[in-house]
Amino acid sequence: MSKKRHEELKKIISEHDYNYHMLDRPTISDQEYDLLFEELLRLELREPDLDKSDSPSQRVGAAPLVFFEKVSHRRPMLSLSNSYSPVDIVSFDERVKKILNSTDEIEYFAEPKFDGLSIELIYENGILTRALTRGDGSLGEDVTQNVKTIKSIPLKLKTPSPPRLLEVRGEILIFKKDFEKLNSQQQENGQQTFANPRNAAAGTIRQLDSKIASSRPLKFFAYAIGETEGLVFEKQDQLGEYFSNVGIPTVSLLHPGLVRVCKNASEAVSYYHFIETERPRLPFDIDGIVIKANSFRLQDDLGLVARSPRWATAAKFKPQQAETTIENIVVQVGRTGALTPVAIMSPVKVGGVTITNATLHNQEEIDRKDVRIGDSVIVQRAGDVIPEIVQVILQKRPKSTQPFVIPSHCPSCLTAVQKLEGEVITRCTNPLCQAILKESLKHFVSRRAMNLDKVGDRLIESLVDKKLVTKFSDLYRLSKQDLLTLDRQGDKSAENVIKSIHSSKKTSLARFIFALGIRFVGEQTAKHLADHFGTIENFLDATEESLLLVPEIGNKVAQAILAWISNPKLANEVRALISLGLEIAAPQRAAVGELAGKSFLITGTLEVKRDAAKDFIEKNGGKILGSVSSKLNYLVVGEDPGSKVEKAESLGVKIISWEELIKMTK
Ligand code: IVH
């Protein structure tokens, strides 16, 4: 019975994943989806023998790996010769004809050259069994756990008669819009930002912890096959149709007309120009086009030379670059105290957009490029989006320039800065630094945090400059009179500011924790913390042990939180906020489920993995505690339990088995 339901749930959820992530047309609400997903998890936890190989439960990320296993490709993953001019398409075509000793026109399949990370997906009897990076072309790395988190990649092919073997090759990428969101989240969380979408995609796939991949907006487009068994294709352009039929994402599903069968080289050249004009409008980065002999028979005849096929070539687009001069290098202080050098340039147009600023990231980067004030430089928009200094034109360097060094003292508060061993980032660690305070306040009031929508950056700057605000709680002590002392502050707008401050008082625990701006605690982590601790008091009482029980929290994050909550000034600030009338609603989740309001601790080895058991308890509304105390309701005991049992007995805590716990949820 439960096997049937399990198959049913796998199918329904996969169908919804497909509608949402491939077609962009969800047919149920997020809540309904969550309910189905929870039912699936519950079923799999209860019956560990069910077939999970194609279960959507695999997408949430698995236990972190220690290293990636190296695996041979059945067929080598090749690379392409590059050229930067459409004229080379013509010479490529001439070469092809010469090798084939023919004057007949060759049909080409043309498609965009995606600027991501190439990957091979291996389907055996329709099930995704492995995903490998290109590696050196012969030996790739097994990144299956990470790839399974990409919701648009089917875990099972949508066909009643899957082939014995199908190796799908394609590119993993991050869309431009998602990339900008990701980078601003990284910035807010005090984590390193990525230079471009490709780096972000590649960096994500190289993470050993697949939970990170599951939180990143990765996409996939298929464009080739490796080894197959039980499938025959004659032409490259048939692949796209087959891929769509079995549920594998291709670019033409999203943008029909973006790939093209070209009758000859001159049509391929027109295609190059067509794509070049489309490029700025595409939602993802491309760096050129790829053309391939359309017939697989011809591809075989043409063969390879070294590691490149003779049947395909890439014609790249010239990067959009321009020349300008560096007028100044300023050093900005971020919310976490990080000092970021930024080049201020004479305004210049690159690919239709005027740019004036480019981050120089850190001292290492400045040294590597040897960028100095007064230099002439080449700039481009990295991955079409972010301005980046490519290189200095040394011939044009004025005589008097000096190497730029990040100051030894914070430009805002003049305190000596710090650079930790092994870190590239220089930081101001003065807790009273005005620049850090301003950035922290901007974060605190931001839309996804406390949402003080009438308190903008400019107002924060003046409030801090005028010393009207020196900490979060001061915002809630502001009066209309205070605001009216500021320049350009009228009666009506002062009233609106006060209203906006007032209405932000009703908030959720997750928003509040996020607003505090604790290092590494982004929105998602704040949600997990809120779900886990339930109240702000519990959160302030968190111990290392209890923090490590929270999903996605490892040592580094736990230490950052502990450092924050154990700082009496900061903890008092939270209490001050509450006494000023902040109403922090407990997460709704904790109130639902059969185990709501009850606390649990696990000891000994259970039939299921420890993490899975904790997830199960939490999903059903229960709370996990870090140690045995009189606050504990149930001690769940497995094999070889430790001293906790005795202690629990002495405190009168109920002792139950895993099976009994399961029964409580039925
Ligand atoms: S077909 C050489 N098609 O380009 C084997 N490759 O230098 C044929 N790439 O590693 C590959 N977009 O990561 C092909 N539409 C596309 C592509 C594409 C990007 C990448 C791929 C490969 C590299 C070749």
Residue recorded with tokens 């994402």: 249
Tokens representing 222?
A: 């298929």
- pLDDT tens-digit series, residues 378-391: 998 765 567 889 99
Q: Is the CB of 312 under 6 A from ligand 1?
A: yes
CB 439 within 8 A of CB 333: yes
pLDDT score, position 550: 85
Distance (angstroms) between ligand 1 centre and the Cα of 77 equals 9
Distance (angstroms) between ligand 1 centre and the Cα of 113 equals 6
Is a pLDDT exceeding 60 seen at residue 589?
no
Distance (angstroms) between ligand 1 centre and the Cα of 80 equals 7
Q: Cα(284)–Cα(280) distance, rounded to whole angstroms?
A: 9
Q: Which residue type is seen at 381?
A: R
Whole-number average pLDDT of the chain: 90
| C-alpha dihedral sign at 298, 301, 302, 307 | positive
Q: In Å, how far are 337, 410, 413, 429, 514 from 432, measured between CA atoms?
A: 11, 12, 8, 9, 21
Is a pLDDT exceeding 60 seen at residue 564?
yes
- Between 370 and 35, name the one with better pLDDT: 370
Distance (angstroms) between ligand 1 centre and the Cα of 78 equals 8
**Average pLDDT of the residues in 143-164:** 95
CB 417 within 8 A of CB 427: yes
pLDDT score, position 6: 94
Strand-pairing partners, residue 167, are: 122
Q: Is the CB of 444 under 6 A from ligand 1?
A: no
Q: Is the CB of 290 under 6 A from ligand 1?
A: yes
Tokens representing 510?
A: 């997750």
Split at pLDDT 50, 70, 90, the class of 260 is: very high
Is a pLDDT exceeding 80 seen at residue 192?
no
Is a pLDDT exceeding 50 seen at residue 301?
yes
Q: Is the CB of 381 under 6 A from ligand 1?
A: no
Q: Which domains does the chain have, with CATH numbers?
A: 2-59 (1.10.287.610), 72-316 (3.30.470.30), 321-407 (2.40.50.140), 434-504 (1.10.150.20), 509-585 (1.10.150.20), 599-664 (3.40.50.10190)
pLDDT score, position 558: 94
Distance (angstroms) between ligand 1 centre and the Cα of 79 equals 7
| C-alpha dihedral sign at 315, 317, 319, 321 | positive
pLDDT score, position 294: 97
pLDDT score, position 598: 87
pLDDT score, position 588: 67
Split at pLDDT 50, 70, 90, the class of 590 is: very low
Q: Which amino acid residue places its CA nearest to atom 3 of ligand 1?
A: 223
Q: Is the CB of 220 under 6 A from ligand 1?
A: no
pLDDT score, position 382: 62
Least confident of 28-42, 202-216, 247-261, 434-448: 28-42
Split at pLDDT 50, 70, 90, the class of 477 is: very high
Distance (angstroms) between ligand 1 centre and the Cα of 197 equals 17
CB 54 within 8 A of CB 155: yes
Split at pLDDT 50, 70, 90, the class of 28 is: confident
Tokens representing 80?
A: 């392409």
- The set of residues, in sequence order, having a beta carbon less than 8 Å from that of 263 and lying 6+ positions away, is 105, 107
Q: Is the CB of 351 under 6 A from ligand 1?
A: no
Distance (angstroms) between ligand 1 centre and the Cα of 420 equals 40
Question: What count of other Cβ atoms lies within 10 Å of the Cβ of residue 508?
Answer: 17
pLDDT score, position 595: 87
**Average pLDDT of the residues in 364-381:** 93
- pLDDT tens-digit series, residues 603-640: 988 887 787 788 788 778 888 887 888 878 999 998 88
CB 317 within 8 A of CB 112: no
Residue recorded with tokens 């089917």: 154
Split at pLDDT 50, 70, 90, the class of 450 is: very high
**Average pLDDT of the residues in 487-509:** 92
With 0-12 / 13-18 / 19 or more C-beta atoms within 10 angstroms meaning exposed / middle / buried, residue 26 is: middle
The verdict on whether 113 is a catalytic residue reads yes
DSSP 568-637: HHHHHHHHHHHHTT-EEEPPGGGGSSTTTT-EEEEESB-SS-HHHHHHHHHHTT-EE-SS-STT--EEEE
Q: Which amino acid residue places its CA nearest to atom 21 of ligand 1?
A: 118
Q: Is the CB of 134 under 6 A from ligand 1?
A: yes
pLDDT score, position 190: 66
Closest approach atom of ligand 1 to CA 113: 12
Q: Is the CB of 224 under 6 A from ligand 1?
A: yes
- pLDDT tens-digit series, residues 150-160: 999 999 999 99
Question: What count of other Cβ atoms lies within 10 Å of the Cβ of residue 514?
Answer: 28
Q: Which amino acid residue places its CA nearest to atom 5 of ligand 1?
A: 78
Closest approach atom of ligand 1 to CA 289: 15
- pLDDT tens-digit series, residues 415-431: 999 988 878 889 999 98
pLDDT score, position 468: 95
Is a pLDDT exceeding 90 seen at residue 406?
yes
Closest approach atom of ligand 1 to CA 314: 7
Closest approach atom of ligand 1 to CA 118: 13
Closest approach atom of ligand 1 to CA 111: 15
Split at pLDDT 50, 70, 90, the class of 104 is: very high
**Average pLDDT of the residues in 250-279:** 93
Catalytic entry in 4, 11, 113, 663 = 113
Top mutation candidate among 113, 252, 292, 294 for ligand 1, by most atoms within 8 Å of CB: 113
Q: Cα(547)–Cα(518) distance, rounded to whole angstroms?
A: 14
* Torsion of Cα atoms, 527 then 529 then 534 then 538, to 10°: -150
pLDDT score, position 352: 66
Q: 599-603 and 634-637 as β-strands: parallel, antiparallel, unpaired?
A: parallel
